[in-house]
Amino acid sequence: MSSHNNSIMKLSFSIFTRYRSVADHVNALRRRGERFTILEVGGRGNFLKRFLPQDQITILDVDDSGEENYVKGDGRQLPFKNRSFDLVVSTDVLEHIPPGDRKKYLKEQVRVCKTAIILSGPLYQPDVARLEKKSNDYYRDLTGEEHPWLKEHVNYGLPKAEDIEAIFTKHHLAITKSWNQRIDLWSQMVLIDLLVATAYTLEVEKAFLKLSHHYNSKIFPFDCDPGGYRTIYTAIRGDRVPKTIARKPYQTIDPWVAEKFQQSVFNLLMTIQRHHLGIIKDKDRHISVLSNLLATQESALSAQQDLLKHWEATISAQTSTLLEKEKLIKDQATMIAALEDTQGLRKEALIERQKKEAYQQKLVELEHQFAELNQQLHSIYSSKKWFLITRVASVYSRLIRPVRSARIALRVVRSEGWPGLERKMKQRRYSGSQYPISLPDINAQYRTWLKQHQLTAESITSLQKTMRSFKIQPKISVIVPLYKTPVPILIETVASVREQIYRNWELVMVDDGSESPELAEYLSLLKSQPQYKIISLTKNAGIVQASNTALKHASGQYVAFLDHDDTLTPDALFRVVEYINKFPKADWLYSDEDKIEADGGRCDPYFKSDFAPYFLLSQMYPCHLAVYRRKFVESLGWLRNGYDGSQDYDLALRAAEKTKPVHIPFILYHWRKIDGSAAKAQLEKPYANKTAFAAIRDALKRRKLSGHVEPGLRPGTFRVRYDPPKNAFVSIIIPTRNQVKLLKSCIQSIITKTRHKDYEIIVLDNRSDDPSAIRYLSAVTKDPRIRVEKYDFPFNFSAINNFGAKLAKGDYLLFLNNDTEVINRDWLTSMLELAQLKDVGAVGAKLLYPNNTIQHAGVVLGIGGIAGHSHKYVPKDLPGYFSQKDLIREYSAVTAGCLLIQRKKFEAVGGFDEAYAIAFNDVDFCLRLGQKGYRCLYTPYAELYHYESVSVGQPDTSARNKKHYSKEINLMRSRWGTLLKNDPYYNPNLSLEREDFSLRI
């Protein structure tokens, strides 16, 4: 048998029987030496060409594959002239056409055929209808969903022979009729096919292909009895008489052949059974090991409870003290307000105000003591001894409630796996009373989110309907470099591509010298399928060379990068093409992503911002799924040698200099968390960090930016340090009213903790009347760097700061609240590095509450209706949402509690809008900067404390009323309403009700 015929025989039985029968009927019409022009309607996969290589075949389908012989179109309205083709062929298509359109479909075939029509497919027979319904029910029992094509058969109803024959007869076509696939054989084979689809492994696939080969070569020649599952019509125009097709009745088959076929069926079923038994045994062993481990740890957990109770009692006592002090402060504030309203009691009011300040200072001291206590407790939990004792529960917080029994933990392990148990323990890590809010368990939220957004049969049908309206339907080449990939994992990767809703794709895989017989055998099985391209390199050349080889063999207009151990969601390519239709000029698209645990559970969803180039320099956040226009990648010079491990990062940095990528806010990609995978831990691939540094350095050189790159604050992140501007003079503008202790602390911290020395401090006194404040303001001007200017008007935050900007001498303006305190010496230098850049407007700092939780790490639009602070109340030592609170990155706005900007950029937008006297002045200011093309950056490398609860200047009574505040809210909504609902630096899947990057559920 030739290799070509052997390859055909290895096709699945359903494909082989359809196309072998059609090819036999075509050859029966053929005269000596004759070559046909053939139109195949609905010929996805281009299989007919393999059976009739000598003929010129055109394929029409609703999906355009990008092949030369493909035409996109609808069988009910063929885009061809009358009698354009010798033959028109369709197989297993008519039953998928709505009943009202079937007559039109057949008439179109009659119109364009010159010689004959060959129509093949199942027709209505009671036994056929019953067995198809039974098969559909069986598939639903296996998967929970109806089978997509059997469902259409059941819903539309199968075509009837008399309707087909009436149309052919009306158009004077001579009809011959034959059958294949006995109903009993078909029902057996299709049920096996459905079962294999739900138990896919290399061993199962090999057994199934062996069974298909036996059927195709030994059973099919006898499987032609009248009344079979599939009817084949040949409708001939003119007087051509087809030759007889030699077939033998099934009754004449050699009994040994039939018996061997049944033995192959049995072997396949046993293979599937072994697969399921193996899964069950693995789970049992895993549960047994975990049970023993949990049992040994239960006593250790119990031993720690006394220590936990001790710390809980201590913290509870401190909390009570704080609450008492806060109550005293509120009582004093009420008393002061009452006294100030009485003209004759101002002296008493002054005394009470001094008491209030004393209590406030006491509160600050208590908070510092509280922070020290937290640090001691943190040290205990950070010790190796504590970590080893509490490994099972990952007990890291002083307030965590220990697992009461191993039985409960075991139930969690059984339902969610070992990682699920760790996640449940970690979610309580920072739920203690010293934080104003409990921190979210993102993975618990994600499980709820997945239930709300899972694909269903109905949603898939809706997407398929939408897909038909796409004007652009490009071929997408999915690029997968392989190296010693475990076959079971690769099977899942390949299956995720094969199951795409969007069908115009090819899978290009390059084996980078793996020298794995099992992998080679699996790849050889895929070679026979037309949508797969398999290239094998003789020696290991590295991921860059392997990927470039795949790119050069790709024929699609776009290329999608897929790692060999990861998977795509079923709608991944659909969403890509959906956004290509929205943005036809897109050269680069990227999506959101999540990860897959070893137990198969989905976790760690990364809902990303739209493109932000400074964010990209801090973290390779676009990452997966990455899709590029193939010609665009070619214009960049493909992937570059020497950047293995960060080749995608280097490509992204180069691409960002030529185009603006499109963000697809859907999770389309699953990273697998296995040993050696970057999804499991950044430290798994230290070589990748090295090449990432090189890629960033190259980007700085190309962009002609002076600076260098350093490790970021978190693993896998980076800090670009730009050379600071020379002779940069900064005017630090501080509005104030009374609050002398806060102001003094603020100014003292600037003077003692600021490395950059070229600055002036302008204190804007908004009607201070506290004698101690007046004395301090008079004395502080003895320092030549400090001057005090009177602002004798009602409180208006915007107006005060605009007033200060006009008085400033500096070419940089720093707006600073008087209730702040500098923490690190490089704070101002870190902000200057960024503020000097041409496209950067405002630069904001990391502001902390006294208990070392975040007060500000960037502003997110839409939270609470207008805007909120990123990562508010998140402890400083936690990474936050994918380390973003510790990265230099873009936000739509930053707070003016500490904001640096070049004077010329401040003046370019007209400063702060004085219509915003109380709130949102900084947000409006930053959004106007954005309109001018400037970016607002947040840097975690400028750290200050912000005693926000005791704010500086206060609006007067009339400005404080709700009507005025409501007016500013309405002004924000009228001016920025659309943007407030769609912050480009946030994500529509994240909550607008919380500031901690919780999911929107």
Phi, psi of 570, deg, nearest 5: -60, -25
618 close to 715: Cβ distance less than 8 angstroms:
no
Classify each residue of 850-886 as buried b or exposed e, where b means 16 or more C-beta atoms within 10 Å of its C-beta: bbbbbbbbbbbbbbeebbbbbbbbbbbebbbbbbbbb
Tokens of 347: 């002296």
Residue-wise DSSP of 22-43: HHHHHHHHPPTT---EEEEET-
Alpha carbons 400 and 397: distance in angstroms, whole number: 5
Tokens 């204190």 correspond to 763
Longest dimension (CA), the chain: 122
Taking Cα atoms as reference points, which of 612, 606, 601 lies closest to residue 591?
Answer: 606
3-state SS assignment for residue 608 = coil
* Phi, psi angle pair for 153, to nearest 5°: -55, -45
Residue with tokens 């799924």: 625
DSSP letters spanning 113-179:
EEEEEEEEEE---HHHHHHHHHHHHHHHHHHSS--HHHHHHHHH----HHHHHHHHHHTT-EEEEEE
Residue with tokens 């809010």: 437
Contact (CB, 8 A) for 522 and 484: no
Q: Which pairing describes strands 730-736 and 759-765: parallel, antiparallel, or unpaired?
A: parallel
What Å distances lie between residue 939 and 476, 719, 813, 835, CA to CA?
A: 39, 10, 17, 11
Q: Write out the two tokens for 99.
A: 């009943």
Neighbours of 790 (CB within 10 A): 12
Q: Residues 6 or more apart from 974 whose CB is under 8 A from it? A: none
Query: Which pLDDT score, from 0 to 100, does residue 966 have?
Result: 86
Going by C-alpha positions, the residue among 198, 253, 251, 205 that lies closest to residue 11 is: 205
What pLDDT, in 10s, does the model give residues 803-823?
999 999 999 999 999 999 999
pLDDT at residue 432, rounded to an integer: 39
Joined together, the tokens standing for residue 985 give: 């630096």
Q: One-letter amino acid identity for 695?
A: A
Rounded to whole angstroms, how far apart are CA atoms 187 and 185? 6
Decide: 854 and 876 in contact? Cβ < 8 Å: yes
- Using a 10 angstrom Cβ sphere, with 0-12 exposed, 13-18 middle and 19 or more buried, the burial of residue 90 is buried
Separation between Cα atoms, residue 518 and residue 149, nearest integer Å? 33
Reduced to 3 states, what is the DSSP secondary structure of residue 463?
Answer: helix
- Where would I find the beta strands (DSSP E) of 808-896? 812-816, 820-822, 840-848, 854-856, 859-861, 867-869, 889-891
End-to-end CA distance of the chain: 60
Helices 406-426, 255-340: axis angle to 10 degrees equals 60
Tell me the CA distances in angstroms from 174 to 166, 227, 389, one per residue in order.
11, 20, 85
Residue 794's nearest CA partner among 954, 557, 564 is 954
Residue 100's SS3 state is helix
What does residue 628 show for φ and ψ, rounded to 5 degrees? -125, 150
Q: At what angle do helices 457-467 and 148-156 cross, to 10 degrees?
A: 90
**Are residues 893 and 972 in contact, defined by beta-carbon separation less than 8 angstroms?**
no
* Positions of CATH 3.90.550.10 in the chain: 452-711, 724-981
3-state secondary structure of 713: coil
Task: Judge contact between 858 and 614, C-beta under 8 A.
Answer: no
CA 144 to chain centroid, in Å, comes to 26
488-505: per-residue pLDDT in tens? 999 999 999 999 999 999
**pLDDT confidence of residue 955:** 43
Q: How far apart are CA 339 and CA 945, in angstroms?
A: 32
Please check whether the domain covering 3-253 is classified as CATH 3.40.50.150.
Answer: yes
| Cα 849 from Cα 367, distance rounded (Å) | 10
Residue 406's identity, in one-letter code, is A
Chain centre to alpha carbon of residue 848:
30
In DSSP terms, 672 is beta-bridged to 596
Q: How far apart are CA 836 and CA 707, in angstroms?
A: 13
The first and second tokens of residue 468, run together, are 């038909």
Q: What is the pLDDT of residues 854-875, one digit of tens each?
A: 999 999 999 989 999 999 999 9
Q: Are 946 and 817 in contact (CB under 8 A)?
A: yes
Angstrom CA distances, 677 to 30, 489, 492, 595, 682, stand at 57, 13, 16, 11, 8
Q: Which residues of the chain have pLDDT under 50?
A: 1, 286, 289-290, 292-293, 296-297, 299-300, 303, 307, 339-340, 342-345, 360, 363-364, 366-368, 370-372, 374-435, 677-684, 949-959
Distances (CA, A) of 566 to 43, 502, 790: 30, 19, 64
Please provide residue 568's backbone torsions phi and psi, each rounded to the nearest 5 degrees.
-105, 155
Do residues 433 and 315 make contact, with C-beta atoms less than 8 angstroms apart?
A: yes
Domain 724-981 class, CATH top level: alpha beta
The structural architecture, per CATH, of the domain 452-711 is Alpha-Beta Complex (3.90)
Return the percentage of the chain with pLDDT > 90, whole number. 61
Q: Are 449 and 605 in contact (CB under 8 A)?
A: yes
Q: Where in the chain is the domain with CATH 3.40.50.150?
A: 3-253
Closest CA to 943 of 824, 802, 820: 824
Neighbours of 266 (CB within 10 A): 11
Q: SS3 breakdown of the chain: % helix, strand, coil, rounded to 5?
A: 50, 20, 35
Identify each DSSP E strand in 921-990 by its residue range. Answer: 935-946
Cα 497 to chain centroid, rounded: 17
Per DSSP, the three-state class of 305 is helix
